[in-house]
Amino acid sequence: MNVIRFKRGVKHWECTYEVKIDYEYTADLGKKISDIIFYQPQTNLRVRVPWKILKNYLNGDLSTTYVDESGLKLEMDGKDLRISDSRLFHIKVHEDQRKCIHIAAIKVKEDISSSVERILRESASISSPPIK
């Protein structure tokens, strides 16, 4: 899981929070982002947002409000994204932060960890039949 930290007071940012990019490996050994987790250390609250929903907001492609049955709410406020839930979690993701999260998510999908590469190489060398 990759983590990005945004600190209050830097630029015009209003709150401190962390963004964790959660992913899984697909059958063809590619990375698939599953969720983005927003965490506020000062309140110890976190919200898990499915990637398939969040990616369009990070691009700025959606202007509609998203609400689900758990109380998760995503809405654009100009060029900023507001994320809240039913438990007092509320953050404003500024435009530059949205772009940063989106770029980091793309890089996560492109990277493959060295440990996974090593395991795959070992597995391939063990399962390959000898060359005659």
Residues of the chain by 3-state class (helix, strand, coil), percent to 5: 30, 35, 35
List the pLDDT tens digit at each of the 132 positions of the chain: 578 888 887 777 878 999 999 988 777 777 788 999 999 998 899 999 999 999 989 888 778 899 999 899 999 988 899 999 988 899 999 998 999 999 888 888 766 555 666 676 666 656 555 555
pTM, to two decimals: 0.78
Helical H runs in the chain? 51-59, 95-110, 114-127
Answer yes or no: are the C-beta atoms of 41 and 85 closer than 8 Å. Answer: no
Q: Of 12, 92, 2, nearest to 51 (Cα)?
A: 2
What is the C-alpha separation between 50 and 68, in angstroms, rounded? 11
For position 124, what pLDDT does the model report?
A: 60
| Tokens coding 113 | 């960890």
Answer yes or no: are the C-beta atoms of 22 and 16 closer than 8 Å. Answer: no
CA geometry: angle at 26 spanning 70 and 115, to 5°? 110
